[in-house]
Chain A
Amino acid sequence: MDKVLLKKLGDPEAHKIDNYVKAGGYKALGMALKMPPDNIIQAVKDSGLRGRGGAGFSTGLKWSFIPKDPTIKKFLCCNADEGEPGTFKDRGIIDWDPHLLIEGMIIASYAIGAAKSYIYIRGEFALGAARLDAAIKEAYAKGYLGPNVMGTGFNHDMFVHRGFGAYICGEETALLESIEGFRAQPRKKPPFPALAGLYSKPTVINNVETLSCIPAIIERGAKWFSSIGPEKSPGPKIFCVSGHVKKPGLYELPMGTTLREIIFNHAGGMLTEKPLKAVIPGGVSAPMLTEKDLDTSMDFDSLAAKGTMLGSGAVVVMDSSACMVKTAYIINRFFSHESCGKCTPCRDGTPWLTNILMRLEHGEGKQGDVELLEGLCANIFGRTFCPLGDGAVMALRGALKNFRNEFEYHAKTGRCLG
């Protein structure tokens, strides 16, 4: 498969608009602007593209929820908050190929009838934000943005909004609150953003990778896109491989590549002789898998069938030197630190879990700690306002399910097993 999303990775000149156009950039935009918007939405639907931000919702379907009434203002927001530990794919696109994202966003905006779009970028991505600012400026200068885009009468403005270091801003409604200048906390749904999003106007929120797929779909057709990977989750996918492998990094592969292939064929195999113990397939909220699951196809449905998820596509590989109690502690500490504070089970439950895990890890575990962890998980799961709290529990439950003995050993002896 030739690369769609990461073809410019590492090319120090690719982010400039002239080079982008020379390589065929903004051709798709020209094509799209000649299509009726509904046809674009249909093409995206037909392509089978599912959101790369984690939930895997059909992108075309999401766009089709936007009211068609031209008198209503609409917005597009690109979610570039990329906060899930282990995830660095969006950054690969933004830093090296910002115009790809911008082109995808203009097409998406045209399709849904948005005159303004925002890129909400994680505050730490200084280079990315600067690249985007510069690229947007270039696009204005060349007439891809601003009034009368490419002479078609379509007007569009694009803004970069920098975040300030909160994971919750990646949750789409918290992101909207943050753009509006409020404290980032999730909103209640319904109403969904497609009806009442940014400034209460219909809004589409898509991930960077999702939007970056759009130009290729327009240029090469929905058929081509849907022929890549499994039928139900087609397309190219970026995997962020980290942990105990020889060659950690970004890999753009067809959706549905197996874990085994990713780790051993692409990422160079395990770092040392130590055997693989566990692998997190889709960011730290995804429950971990073990050796026996390595042949699972990496796509939304196959992973869901295994009780975990593709999430952001962050593959974290751990060998036998990794202590699962420590892993669970570190992951949980992340969630409790990032809990926005809106709902009680997540706000007060995750720090409690963290405290217990910390004790276990530091050899101060007690009889009954494991049962207490499970009991608290039950009081959190399904009772939180947004999926962050659930994610914390899913991760911990995954560790407990596969490695309960390690937790019990820690509780009893204060030390790691083996």
Chain B
Amino acid sequence: MTPVLHGISILTDSPTVVSARAGALEFLLANHALDCPVCDKAGECELQDMVHKYGPHKGRHTEKKFKFHEKDYALSPVIIKNSNRCVQCIKCARVCREVVGVNVLAAIGRGDHQEETSFFKTQLDCDHCGNCIEVCPVGCFMRLPYRYKARPWDLKGADTVCAYCATGCRMVMEHRDGTVLRARAQYGVGVNSETLCARGRFGFDYINSPERLTTPHVNRYGKLEAATWVEAFDYIKESLMGVSGDEFGGIVSPRYTNEEAYLFQKLVRDVFKSANVDSTSRWEASGVEAFAAAAGMNEGGVSVFDCMEADTVVVIGAQISDENPVTDYIIRRISAARKMNVIIVSPRAMKLDSSANLLLRVAPGAEGAVLNAVALSLVPDKTGGYAQTADIAKDMIDALVAKLKASASVAIIAGTEFLRHPESCAGLGFLKDSLKSSGKKVLILPALDRCNQRGVWEMGAHPGFGPGYAGVEKRGKGTHEMLEAAMDGGITSMYAAGVDIVSMFPDAQFAQKALMRLKFLIVQDTFMTETAKMAHVVLPGATFAEKEGFYTNQEGRAQIIRSLLPPPGKAKRDFDVIKAVGEIFDTGFGPKNPALALDEMRKTNPMYRDASLAFNNKRNVDNKLDIKAALVKAADAAPPSVKCAPAAIAPKDDKYQFALMTGNHLFHSGMLSKRSVSLTGLLNSAVVEICPEDAVFYGLKPGAKVIVKGAHYEAVMTLTVRPGSKRGVAFIAENYQDCPVNRFFKKGAGTPQVAIRPCS
């Protein structure tokens, strides 16, 4: 082997190179199936391209070919395999082990009989991310949902961003004759380069769903009925004329574009003169402020790649491997290649644990206490204040402190647990300050689970701050307070744009009751959600594949999304819908289109003053994935500092052995992914996850049906175990229709406790 050295000259076209290249290609074709006419990859196959370019154009191989198998076999509900086309590059097995970290693929056998597959070729118990498909240069690993559906040249594509989590993976979506068929990543493009997770790669098919809303609906006479836009707008005009000020509230989805969120908060604030605007129904507005302040989100974007250059990375309060899979890949890939600490603090085990050199298993909501204890040990004159951390072994805290002390730079990746338990945010801020005062470089990266959560906050869709975290004259109500006000008649009308409050608010019953009291409810969405069913007017919106605009990912990277298709039927782009609603009451309402909205943002929001959509869809020349120019700048203002009181702790009740944790499942994100055929094929009905020790202790069988019983709700679901998780913790994802986990919650009652027992 000749190592590449500085100044070496490499001939790529000498006779030896030309013959070696053609020779290798001839060998690759010797046993290749050569079934291009029926191969999904034909037309974008690296082997085809190479042979076309470098020959040989005449075959000498006349021997009988070796065949691995006669028929392709499915390795998963979304992955199918044909080994007869393999060129043995082993990229599939390597991406599986080195990037995704699941180790289910390997080269089995030897020589020309070596096959990259799983043991016994059975269905994989894997992440179903399909990165093996993406890296396979030929047609061995293939998407099952895409099989025989199109040729690459039949497809029309748009370069866009995944709309599930806030990792913000860049991808190309492709459709044939109006049906979206494929999402694929591109090597060297985006933070994700060629990788995606199962949601990103397979979860887009809800766009094609026949259940999409294609026309407005109006409920005038006790029943929702299809209507025209004119009828819908007339009804809104009649019902909301004169409604103004605190009587009105609006909530916008963290999956809406920045332009849409910006316009929406303007609609609420300027047209309805109300301060009540929020962007999620899952967590309290004050928690968001505390989190944004502690994480220093107003200080501008923080690149995940910069974080990975730190001596120590602490992942805390984030189910990274399940909620932000590609962020997990980035951490795994980079941390394996350099000397650094990866420390994980969480109640549940996760795939990334294997990359960590220190694991702290803590009780749900204990993140803040850990951070406090650590920060106290860092400040020299205040050592030893561990009072609040009775649950965490002192030696673990000491180990964490030792690692931090030995590091010149520290990156903290802080996730949504801080929003579920906002009292933890104080600890985060405290640790940041302590690290800074001991002279260390500190970066905090928020890990968020909705594609534009950060963006909608920075657009000012929040009751406590305006665009760019600017202060507001009068603090408005967040979702929680709006619902409370609706209950007692303080709020009479609401506009829910893209949010399904009933399914997501942590106390489903309360949300439903509150919404029922409203005089008028507008819901704008792509499906008839539980909340839409309660609306007076339902406005059909668009998915991310049907609009133009941009998202800001968790790092603060502003990234353009592009429209692939028009919205179905009479549905409209959400920007146009919000604008039209505004124009009912003020014909001058605007900006009038997304481009003008961006212009206005650039002028008024310092974080976005340089936001440009031009640079960030190009491939980088030097294959660096980190386009710093896309990061948002620092704001002039800071989110108001609020101190969140610890949530009420439900009194220990021996009836309930488990503390309930929620979050997103690896295959799901909110309720949207439940509309994806591929993702529901991977997992459809509810599962509850505990650690194996608890399963043994309580005599529960993994895979069996169990009854999960809380104080307010009980449901039957399947039990799974996750080795390495904390005892006494049960996890149920918030994504199941058959078990809306928010029904376990009682407003103001804190973390629910549940009991699990076998189904008799």
The chain A residues found within 8 Å of chain B, CB to CB, are 166, 168, 183, 188-190, 336-341, 344-345, 347-352, 355-356, 359, 372, 375, 378-380, 383, 385
| Closest Cβ–Cβ distance, residue A362 to chain B (whole Å) | 12
- B107 contacts A by Cβ under 8 Å: yes
What residues of chain A lie closer than 8 Å to B30, measured between beta carbons?
Answer: 348-349, 351-352
**In whole angstroms, what is the CA distance A340 to B66 when docked?**
16
**In whole angstroms, what is the CA distance A292 to B64 when docked?**
40
Residue of A nearest to B108 (CB): A183
Q: Which of B16-24, B247-255, B263-271, B710-718 contacts A (4 or more CB under 8 A)?
A: B16-24
- The answer to whether A338 touches B1 (Cβ under 8 A) is no
Knowing A341-B88, A355-B63, say if A348 contacts B110 (CB, 8 Å). Answer: no
| Closest Cβ–Cβ distance, residue B390 to chain A (whole Å) | 41
Partner of B1, one of A188, A348, A383: A188
Interface residues of B in 22-45 (CB under 8 A from A): 23-24, 26-28, 30-31
- The answer to whether A352 touches B23 (Cβ under 8 A) is no
- B179 contacts A by Cβ under 8 Å: no
- The answer to whether A345 touches B24 (Cβ under 8 A) is yes
What residues of chain A lie closer than 8 Å to B1, measured between beta carbons?
Answer: 188-190, 385
**In whole angstroms, what is the CA distance A237 to B63 when docked?**
43
7 contacts between A and B (CB under 8 A): A189-B1, A339-B110, A355-B63, A379-B19, A379-B23, A379-B27, A385-B1
| Closest Cβ–Cβ distance, residue B89 to chain A (whole Å) | 9
What residues of chain A lie closer than 8 Å to B31, measured between beta carbons?
Answer: 348, 351
**In whole angstroms, what is the CA distance A356 to B106 when docked?**
31
What residues of chain A lie closer than 8 Å to B592, measured between beta carbons?
Answer: none
Knowing A189-B1, A352-B61, A355-B64, say if A344 contacts B107 (CB, 8 Å). Answer: no
- The answer to whether B88 touches A352 (Cβ under 8 A) is no
Interface residues of B in 5-25 (CB under 8 A from A): 19-20, 23-24
- The answer to whether A383 touches B23 (Cβ under 8 A) is yes
Beta-carbon contacts of B235-254 to A below 8 Å, as 1s and 0s?
00000000000000000000
Knowing A351-B66, A352-B61, say if A341 contacts B19 (CB, 8 Å). Answer: no
- The answer to whether B64 touches A375 (Cβ under 8 A) is no
What residues of chain B lie closer than 8 Å to A340, measured between beta carbons?
Answer: 110-111
**In whole angstroms, what is the CA distance A234 to B60 when docked?**
47
**In whole angstroms, what is the CA distance A193 to B63 when docked?**
40
- B46 contacts A by Cβ under 8 Å: no
- The answer to whether B112 touches A341 (Cβ under 8 A) is yes
What residues of chain B lie closer than 8 Å to A183, measured between beta carbons?
Answer: 106-107
**In whole angstroms, what is the CA distance A229 to B358 when docked?**
59
What residues of chain B lie closer than 8 Å to A188, measured between beta carbons?
Answer: 1
Partner of B88, one of A166, A347, A351: A347
- B114 contacts A by Cβ under 8 Å: yes
- The answer to whether B20 touches A351 (Cβ under 8 A) is no
**In whole angstroms, what is the CA distance A348 to B61 when docked?**
11
- The answer to whether A379 touches B66 (Cβ under 8 A) is no
- B3 contacts A by Cβ under 8 Å: yes
Knowing A345-B24, A383-B23, say if A190 contacts B3 (CB, 8 Å). Answer: yes
Interface residues of B in 99-133 (CB under 8 A from A): 106-107, 109-114
What residues of chain B lie closer than 8 Å to A347, measured between beta carbons?
Answer: 27, 88, 111-112, 114
- The answer to whether B27 touches A344 (Cβ under 8 A) is yes
Residue of B nearest to A167 (CB): B110
**In whole angstroms, what is the CA distance A375 to B63 when docked?**
16
With a 10 A CB-CB cut-off, give which of B23, B24, B27 has the most chain A CB atoms. Answer: B27
**In whole angstroms, what is the CA distance A336 to B63 when docked?**
15
Partner of A383, one of B20, B61, B106: B20
What residues of chain A lie closer than 8 Å to B26, measured between beta carbons?
Answer: 379
What residues of chain B lie closer than 8 Å to A349, measured between beta carbons?
Answer: 27, 30
**In whole angstroms, what is the CA distance A161 to B110 when docked?**
21
- The answer to whether B107 touches A341 (Cβ under 8 A) is yes
| Closest Cβ–Cβ distance, residue A394 to chain B (whole Å) | 17
What residues of chain A lie closer than 8 Å to B61, measured between beta carbons?
Answer: 352
Given contacts A190-B3, A341-B88, 12 further A-B contacts (CB under 8 A): A168-B110, A183-B106, A183-B107, A339-B111, A341-B110, A341-B114, A345-B27, A348-B27, A348-B30, A348-B31, A352-B63, A383-B24
Residue of A nearest to B106 (CB): A183
| Closest Cβ–Cβ distance, residue B221 to chain A (whole Å) | 70
Partner of B112, one of A166, A336, A372, A383: A336
**In whole angstroms, what is the CA distance A356 to B114 when docked?**
21
**In whole angstroms, what is the CA distance A166 to B113 when docked?**
14
Beta-carbon contacts of B174-202 to A below 8 Å, as 1s and 0s?
00000000000000000000000000000
- The answer to whether B112 touches A351 (Cβ under 8 A) is yes
- The answer to whether B63 touches A356 (Cβ under 8 A) is yes
What residues of chain B lie closer than 8 Å to A345, measured between beta carbons?
Answer: 23-24, 27
| Closest Cβ–Cβ distance, residue B115 to chain A (whole Å) | 10
- The answer to whether A352 touches B111 (Cβ under 8 A) is no
**In whole angstroms, what is the CA distance A189 to B2 when docked?**
8
**In whole angstroms, what is the CA distance A349 to B60 when docked?**
12
Interface residues of B in 507-562 (CB under 8 A from A): none
**In whole angstroms, what is the CA distance A352 to B27 when docked?**
8
What residues of chain A lie closer than 8 Å to B63, measured between beta carbons?
Answer: 352, 355-356, 359
What residues of chain A lie closer than 8 Å to B113, measured between beta carbons?
Answer: 341
What residues of chain A lie closer than 8 Å to B27, measured between beta carbons?
Answer: 344-345, 347-349, 352, 379
- The answer to whether A351 touches B111 (Cβ under 8 A) is yes
- The answer to whether B111 touches A336 (Cβ under 8 A) is yes
Partner of A337, one of B24, B107, B111: B111
**In whole angstroms, what is the CA distance A383 to B113 when docked?**
20
| Closest Cβ–Cβ distance, residue A347 to chain B (whole Å) | 5
What residues of chain B lie closer than 8 Å to A379, measured between beta carbons?
Answer: 19-20, 23-24, 26-27
**In whole angstroms, what is the CA distance A385 to B114 when docked?**
17
- The answer to whether B106 touches A341 (Cβ under 8 A) is no
What residues of chain A lie closer than 8 Å to B114, measured between beta carbons?
Answer: 341, 347
- The answer to whether B112 touches A348 (Cβ under 8 A) is yes
**In whole angstroms, what is the CA distance A168 to B109 when docked?**
13
Residue of A nearest to B115 (CB): A341
Partner of A344, one of B3, B24, B64: B24
What residues of chain A lie closer than 8 Å to B109, measured between beta carbons?
Answer: 341
What residues of chain A lie closer than 8 Å to B20, measured between beta carbons?
Answer: 379, 383
**In whole angstroms, what is the CA distance A148 to B88 when docked?**
49
What residues of chain B lie closer than 8 Å to A352, measured between beta carbons?
Answer: 27, 30, 61, 63
**In whole angstroms, what is the CA distance A384 to B24 when docked?**
10
With a 10 A CB-CB cut-off, give which of B23, B31, B64, B111 has the most chain A CB atoms. Answer: B111
With a 10 A CB-CB cut-off, give which of A189, A344, A351 has the most chain B CB atoms. Answer: A344
Residue of A nearest to B19 (CB): A379
**In whole angstroms, what is the CA distance A344 to B22 when docked?**
12
Beta-carbon contacts of B653-693 to A below 8 Å, as 1s and 0s?
00000000000000000000000000000000000000000
What residues of chain B lie closer than 8 Å to A385, measured between beta carbons?
Answer: 1
What residues of chain B lie closer than 8 Å to A166, measured between beta carbons?
Answer: 110
Knowing A344-B27, A375-B60, say if A338 contacts B88 (CB, 8 Å). Answer: no
- The answer to whether A341 touches B111 (Cβ under 8 A) is yes
| Closest Cβ–Cβ distance, residue A342 to chain B (whole Å) | 8
What residues of chain B lie closer than 8 Å to A355, measured between beta carbons?
Answer: 63-64
With a 10 A CB-CB cut-off, give which of A340, A372, A383 has the most chain B CB atoms. Answer: A383
Q: 7 shortest A-B CB distances, which residue pairs?
A: A379-B23, A348-B27, A341-B114, A355-B63, A339-B111, A188-B1, A344-B24
Residue of A nearest to B29 (CB): A348
| Closest Cβ–Cβ distance, residue A332 to chain B (whole Å) | 13
Residue of B nearest to A368 (CB): B60
**In whole angstroms, what is the CA distance A378 to B60 when docked?**
14
**In whole angstroms, what is the CA distance A183 to B26 when docked?**
26
**In whole angstroms, what is the CA distance A338 to B111 when docked?**
7
Residue of B nearest to A350 (CB): B111
Residue of B nearest to A336 (CB): B111
**In whole angstroms, what is the CA distance A379 to B29 when docked?**
14
What residues of chain A lie closer than 8 Å to B24, measured between beta carbons?
Answer: 344-345, 379, 383
**In whole angstroms, what is the CA distance A226 to B706 when docked?**
78
What residues of chain A lie closer than 8 Å to B110, measured between beta carbons?
Answer: 166, 168, 338-341
Knowing A352-B27, A352-B30, A379-B27, say if A372 contacts B60 (CB, 8 Å). Answer: yes
Residue of A nearest to B3 (CB): A190
